Amino acid sequence: MDGVRDAAKNSATPEYSILLPTYNERENLPIITWLIFDELERAKISAFELIIIDDNSPDGTQAIAKRLQQLYGPERIVLAPREGKLGLGTAYVHGLTFARGTFVVIMDADMSHHPKFIPQFIAAQKASGADIVTGTRYLPAGGVYGWDLRRKLMSRVANYLAQVALRPGVSDLTGSFRLYRKEVLAACVNLTRSKGFIFQMEIVVRARQIGFSIAEVPITFVDRVYGCSKLGNMEIVSYLKGLWSLMWR
Amino acid sequence: MKSGPLYLGVLTASAAVWLALYLELAIPLSPSGQQVVSALPCLALIWFGCWSLGTISLNLIRLRECTDAAVELREQIAAARNDLRARGLGDIFDADAK
């Protein structure tokens, strides 16, 4: 009897679809997958699916994803590969066509986003009824690890400029660890025009313009790629340009 | 509301009020009053600069270094590797280690 009920529960529509875009994450993918299942099972959340959107990684991430699908089952892990590296915004749109859940969780596969926060996002959504729950490194319980002083200062200045320029009502605009109502993400992504980390800010700005509600959960961000802060002068210029354009459109 | 038009509106309104004061369109000013009014834009800029520096410094100090989370993650990664090895996926890590 229990077996029948379990089978029925497993085949039921998942409530949460976790979108995991990957590019050359051969080593990280099995571990982040394991962590996601471990954390959600411990939080007694079973109605979820993991959608792996691999952009044809040359390191063979896709083959690893297939093996993980065999291990955890095709109803829990959905493969949504793409033909090449096509950018994050379109990865979300692509993943959304596979997502069966009412809610969509978006995270990075490099383990800077810890799956232990997903149950907290879900609890915050239930408590507030928000359309979006966004992880923030900048509230007291949040934090970062693996950043030198220069990197911290740059992130603080960038965040300050964004707060002043856009008045977003959200303390961390460039983070991409978030939970969305599925139709809310679809609506926001359709309105965005920018790419990269500006894209993450634009989603929030668009969401505010439409009037969607946003809740925040403090997260810790552990940067395991030491020493390579990818913020060159080009990035600074494109960041400022992005901020400016978001103020007006 | 988009922040660009909002700031443009606030800036235009403040500039208009300041200009009206400066040109003494509304009320005549004493010599010391004139000095204060002519220094106002400069003072506002300095105040904004100080406030920005203060906010950024305070936020920089407040940004927490989460060593505990890094240690926890390291342990969990080791546990994940061991469990995945037990389930026959060990070659993924072991091939790269060689």
How does pLDDT run along chain A (249 residues), one tens digit per residue? Answer: 444 444 444 556 899 999 999 999 999 999 999 999 999 999 999 999 999 999 999 999 999 999 999 999 999 999 999 999 888 888 999 999 999 999 999 999 999 999 999 999 999 999 999 999 999 999 999 999 999 999 999 999 999 999 999 999 999 998 899 999 999 999 999 998 887 778 999 999 999 999 999 999 999 999 976 545 556 788 889 999 999 999 998
Q: Which domain holds residue B91?
A: 3-95
Backbone angles phi, psi at A212, to 5 degrees: -70, 150
Token reading at B17 = 């009020």
CA A216 to chain centre: 14
Q: Does A204 touch chain B (CB under 8 A)?
A: no
Q: Which residue spans within A74-155 are E strands per DSSP? A: 77-79, 103-106, 132-136, 143-145
| B17 C-beta neighbours (distance < 10 Å), count | 12
Query: Among all chains, which residue has been given the structure tokens 């997260």?
Result: A219
β-sheet bridge partners, residue A1: none
The token pair that represents A200 in the structure block:
């993450």
Question: Does A160 contact B56 at a Cβ distance shorter than 8 Å?
Answer: yes
Q: Say whether residue A247 is in contact with chain B using an 8 A CB cutoff.
A: yes
Q: Give phi and psi for A49, each to the nearest 5.
A: -135, 150
Question: Is A145 at the interface with chain B, CB within 8 A?
Answer: yes
What residue has token string 């139709």? A183
Complex-level ipTM:
0.87
Q: Choose the mutation target among B73, B74, B75, B82 for the interface with A, i.e. most A CBs under 10 Å.
A: B73
Residues of B in contact with A166 (CB under 8 A): 3
Picking from B55, B67, B92, the nearest residue to A27 by CB comes out as B92
Residue to mutate among B51, B62, B89, with most A CBs inside 10 A, is B89
Q: How many angstroms away from the CA of A16 is the closest CA of chain B?
A: 23
Residues of A in contact with B55 (CB under 8 A): 160
| Segment B66-95, tens digit of pLDDT | 999 999 999 999 999 999 999 988 888 776
Q: How far apart are CA B22 and CA B28, in angstroms?
A: 9
pLDDT of residue A5: 45
Q: Do A166 and B3 touch (CB under 8 A)?
A: yes
Q: CB A138 to CB B60 under 8 A? A: no
In chain B, which residue's Cα lies nearest the Cα of A208?
A: B1
Tell me the C-alpha distance between A168 and A158, whole Å. Answer: 14
Check if the beta carbon of residue B40 is closer than 8 Å to that of residue B46.
Answer: no
B12-67: pLDDT as tens digits = 999 999 999 999 987 888 989 999 999 999 999 999 999 999 999 999 999 999 99
Tally of domains in chain B: 1
Pairs from A60-64 (Cβ < 8 Å, separation ≥ 24):
A60/A26, A61/A22, A61/A23, A61/A24, A61/A25, A61/A26, A61/A29, A64/A26, A64/A29, A64/A30, A64/B92
Amino acid symbol at B38: S
pLDDT score at A197: 77
Q: What is the pLDDT of residue B95?
A: 62
Two tokens at A129? 């009824």
What's the CA gap between A146 and A223, in Å, rounded? 5
CA distances from A128 to A125, A201, A232, B88 (A): 5, 22, 39, 42
Name the residue of chain A whose CA is nearest to B48's CA: A164
Mutate to test the interface with A, among B84, B91, B94 (most CBs of A within 10 A): B84
List the structure tokens of A214.
Answer: 């946003």
CB contact (8 A) between residue A156 and residue B73: no
Residue among A248, A152, A136, A231 at smallest CA distance from A194: A248
pLDDT computed for residue A184 by the predictor: 97
A to B CB pairs, distance under 8 Å: 89
A2-248 CATH pick, 3.40.630.30, 3.10.105.10, 3.90.550.10, 3.40.50.300: 3.90.550.10
What's the confidence (pLDDT) of residue A20? 97
Using the predicted structure, report yes or no on whether residue B98 has a pLDDT greater than 50.
Answer: no
pTM tops 0.80, yes or no = yes
Instruction: Find the angle CA(A29)-CA(A14)-CA(A77) to the nearest 5 degrees.
Output: 25
Alpha-carbon distance B46 to nearest alpha carbon in chain A (angstroms): 16
d(CA A128, CA B20): 48
Name the amino acid, one letter, at A76.
R
Residue A232: its pLDDT value, please?
Answer: 77
Instruction: Report how many helices (DSSP H) and strands (DSSP E) chain B contains, helices first.
Output: 4, 0
Which residues of chain A neighbour B7 with C-beta distances below 8 Å? 247
Measure B38 CA to nearest chain A CA, in Å: 26
Cα Rg for chain B, rounded, in angstroms?
Answer: 30
Q: How many whole angstroms separate alpha carbon A239 and alpha carbon A233?
A: 10
For residue A11, what pLDDT is reported? 54
Residue A112 contacts residue A222 (beta carbons within 8 Å) = yes
Q: Among A27, A67, A247, select the one facing B2 at the smallest CB separation.
A: A247
Nearest to A151 by CA among A236, A244, A220: A236
